[in-house]
């Protein structure tokens, strides 16, 4: 039996006296940059070794961070958590809800940035309308209307070269925001209007929040000493966003249902949290899936065949139609495996634990590096190849029309079949790719986000051939994992196959 090693023996970047490891993120040198945490994770993976763990200790205002690089260890930790799983609290958001705006939030802190009894009580009130499968399925008609409006918007944006504009990611934000508003608030926010001032204000709030978070949470917490410019941007974004949620609350949608039972305050706080985390994430997932399919003609053609065979000709959509497009769902899963919108999540352990053979003290924050695990060869053969078939039960890469394929296409299909076959032999570890998290703290809007993505992507790829004529996209953490370069997709109208 292997002996348990001390926490001090766990590898990781060495902290300096007094300043710890915070100086690394403050200076922003590779790989310790808040926008390049993917590189930092790979550096820690190299230190940890296979099935090992690494740590980043002595960060100002934060517990020590522990990264177990094993899906088996991640599963073990998830499985043993208690009924009140503790995520590491975001100090800035906690400060905002519990101190700055305590008069409003009081004992109703919401779902984001909170844990413990208050979180459990709030979640018990809102979970059924959000987590029930029938709730998301009932939202299909209204989300379909949002998606069709967005396609009309896309057509207006295409230039003479049939290329989308450099700011297309902002348009995806608008679509995601309009979608959340439709099912959560039960109202259209008019975000898809070309010059809607309120929509621009909401988008600005979300950007202000997300671009401030990595700087405030990972760098030295100078905001605790004085009001830094980043801190002021963060607080203004949250205040504006909160005001907008108050103005937009109606008696419809999921939040309207909750307001009738638990009051407008609970509904408003839920709307605040849902819109705060449901825009950047869904937009990022849509962008990455479009990009992966635009670069993979074989997968795009198979998807279009599936859509042509199953989407109704009269344009109506319901939940039964979504049940008939498993390949699209596989495409989304594969994209989120390769480019998860959040690189990882974690738990703050409430008692001493042995993790990857090391004795980890109580209060440490265990970070599950899903981005690394879902891009490792030992869990996903040829992890850098986009092969949606690895998620299908039969793993079959064939499709109608394959007999007309040229030699290059046949070669691509053979390669995909090889990867899918290897994956089928190996199986997929259920904890190697968790884009929505796991357990009681899984993304509570997961089902709605999946419906939004399926509807939008189904309509885009049924109407258009989507191609990519530029270099490889690079990604940054904002903290959502987003492309750095403009999303200049080329779209050509296609004729639906029989």
pLDDT at 453 over 50: yes
For residue 456, give the nearest of 337, 333, 332 by alpha carbon: 332
Tokens standing for residue 108: 């109703």
Please tell me the distance from the alpha carbon of residue 175 to that of residue 144, in angstroms, as a whole number: 11
- The two beta strands, 65-68 and 365-368, are parallel
- 411 labeled part of a ligand binding site: no
Q: What angle do CA 342, 347, 348 make, to 5 degrees?
A: 135
Mean pLDDT of the chain: 87
**pLDDT: which is higher, 399 or 147:** 147
pLDDT at 291 over 70: yes
Please tell me the distance from the alpha carbon of residue 259 to that of residue 277, in angstroms, as a whole number: 20
pLDDT at 214 over 80: no
CA atoms within 13 A of residue 130's CA, in its CB half-sphere: 25
For the stretch 111-115, contacts whose Cβ atoms lie closer than 8 Å and that sit 24 or more positions apart, written own/partner, are 111/270, 111/273, 111/444, 112/273, 112/276, 112/277, 113/89, 114/89, 115/84, 115/85, 115/86, 115/87, 115/89, 115/348
Tokens standing for residue 174: 């608008």
Tokens standing for residue 476: 């940054």
For the stretch 230-234, contacts whose Cβ atoms lie closer than 8 Å and that sit 24 or more positions apart, written own/partner, are 231/92, 233/208, 234/92, 234/208, 234/209
pLDDT at 296 over 70: yes
- Specify whether the CB–CB gap between 435 and 342 falls below 8 A: yes
Give the model's pLDDT for residue 125: 87
**Helices 168-180 & 140-157, crossing angle to 10 degrees?**
160
Q: pLDDT per residue over 241-259, tens digit each?
A: 788 778 877 888 899 889 9
Give the model's pLDDT for residue 441: 74
Other CB atoms within 10 A of residue 489 CB: 23
Please tell me the distance from the alpha carbon of residue 446 to that of residue 437, in angstroms, as a whole number: 9
Give the model's pLDDT for residue 194: 66
- Specify whether the CB–CB gap between 136 and 451 falls below 8 A: yes
Tokens standing for residue 8: 């001090």
Please tell me the distance from the alpha carbon of residue 29 to that of residue 487, in angstroms, as a whole number: 27
Is the pTM above the cut of 0.75? yes
Phi, psi of 381 (to 5 degrees): -55, 140
Give the model's pLDDT for residue 218: 64
**pLDDT: which is higher, 464 or 87:** 464
Burial of 134 (0-12, 13-18, 19+ CB in 10 A): exposed
Mean pLDDT computed over 32-45: 90
Name the residue with tokens 């999946």. Answer: 450
Give the model's pLDDT for residue 2: 62
Other CB atoms within 10 A of residue 366 CB: 27
Please tell me the distance from the alpha carbon of residue 107 to that of residue 180, in angstroms, as a whole number: 25
Name the range with the highest mean pLDDT among 24-28, 79-83, 277-281: 277-281
Radius of gyration of the chain (CA): 23
For residue 139, give the nearest of 317, 332, 328 by alpha carbon: 317
Please tell me the distance from the alpha carbon of residue 55 to that of residue 366, in angstroms, as a whole number: 9
- Specify whether the CB–CB gap between 368 and 344 falls below 8 A: yes
Q: Which domains can be identified in the chain, with CATH numbers?
A: 92-336+442-493 (1.10.630.10)
Tokens standing for residue 81: 């958590």
User: What sections of 314-366 are H helices per DSSP?
Assistant: 319-322, 326-338
pLDDT at 68 over 90: yes
Q: pLDDT per residue over 341-357, tens digit each?
A: 999 888 888 888 899 99
For residue 434, give the nearest of 331, 342, 362, 299 by alpha carbon: 342
Other CB atoms within 10 A of residue 406 CB: 7
Distances, alpha carbon 326 to alpha carbons 313, 320, 379, 395, 458, in Å = 19, 12, 22, 12, 11
Q: How far apart are the first and last CA of the chain?
A: 63
């Amino acid at each position: 039996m292997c002996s348990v090693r001390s926490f001090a023996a766990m590898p990781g970047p060495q902290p300096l006296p007094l300043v710890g490891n915070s100086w690394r993120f403050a200076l922003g040198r590779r790989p310790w940059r808040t926008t390049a945490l993917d590189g930092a994770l790979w550096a820690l993976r190299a230190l940890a070794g296979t099935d090992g763990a690494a740590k980043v200790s002595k960060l100002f205002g934060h517990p020590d961070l522990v990264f177990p690089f094993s899906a088996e260890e991640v599963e073990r930790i998830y499985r043993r958590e208690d009924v009140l799983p503790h995520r590491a609290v975001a100090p800035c958001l906690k400060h905002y809800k519990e101190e700055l705006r305590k008069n409003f939030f009081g004992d109703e802190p919401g779902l984001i940035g909170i844990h413990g009894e208050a979180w459990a009580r709030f979640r018990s009130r809102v979970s059924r309308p959000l987590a029930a499968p029938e709730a998301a399925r009932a939202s299909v008609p209204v989300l379909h209307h949002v998606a069709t409006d967005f396609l009309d918007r896309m057509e207006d944006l295409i230039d003479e070269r049939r290329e989308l504009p450099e700011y297309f990611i902002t348009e995806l934000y608008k679509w995601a925001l309009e979608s959340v508003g439709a099912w959560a608030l039960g109202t259209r926010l008019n975000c898809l209007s070309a010059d809607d001032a309120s929509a621009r204000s909401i988008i600005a709030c979300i950007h202000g929040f997300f671009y401030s978070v990595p700087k405030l949470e990972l760098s030295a917490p100078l905001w605790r000493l004085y009001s830094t410019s980043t801190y002021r941007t963060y607080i203004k974004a949250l205040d504006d966003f909160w005001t907008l949620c108050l103005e937009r609350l109606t008696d419809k949608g999921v939040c309207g249902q909750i307001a009738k039972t638990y009051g407008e305050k609970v509904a408003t706080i839920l709307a605040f949290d849902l819109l705060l985390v449901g825009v950047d994430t869904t937009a990022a997932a849509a962008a990455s899936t479009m990009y992966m399919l635009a670069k993979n003609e074989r997968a795009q053609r198979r998807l279009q065949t599936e859509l042509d065979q199953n989407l109704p000709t009269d344009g109506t959509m319901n939940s039964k139609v979504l049940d008939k497009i498993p390949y699209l769902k596989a495409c989304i899963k594969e994209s989120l495996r390769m480019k998860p919108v959040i690189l990882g999540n974690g738990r703050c352990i409430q008692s001493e634990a042995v993790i990857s053979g090391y004795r980890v003290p109580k209060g440490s924050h265990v970070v599950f590096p899903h981005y690394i695990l879902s891009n490792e060869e030992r869990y996903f053969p040829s992890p850098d190849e986009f092969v949606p078939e690895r998620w299908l039960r039969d793993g079959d890469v064939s499709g109608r029309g394959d007999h007309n394929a040229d030699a290059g296409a046949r070669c691509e299909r053979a390669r995909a079949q090889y990867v899918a076959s290897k994956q089928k032999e190996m199986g997929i570890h259920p904890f190697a790719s968790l884009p929505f998290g796991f357990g009681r703290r899984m993304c509570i809007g997961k089902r709605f986000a999946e419906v939004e993505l399926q509807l939008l992507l189904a309509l885009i790829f049924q109407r258009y051939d989507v191609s990519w004529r530029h270099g490889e996209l690079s990604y940054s953490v904002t903290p959502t994992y987003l492309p750095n370069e403009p999303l200049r997709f080329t779209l050509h109208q296609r004729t639906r196959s029989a």
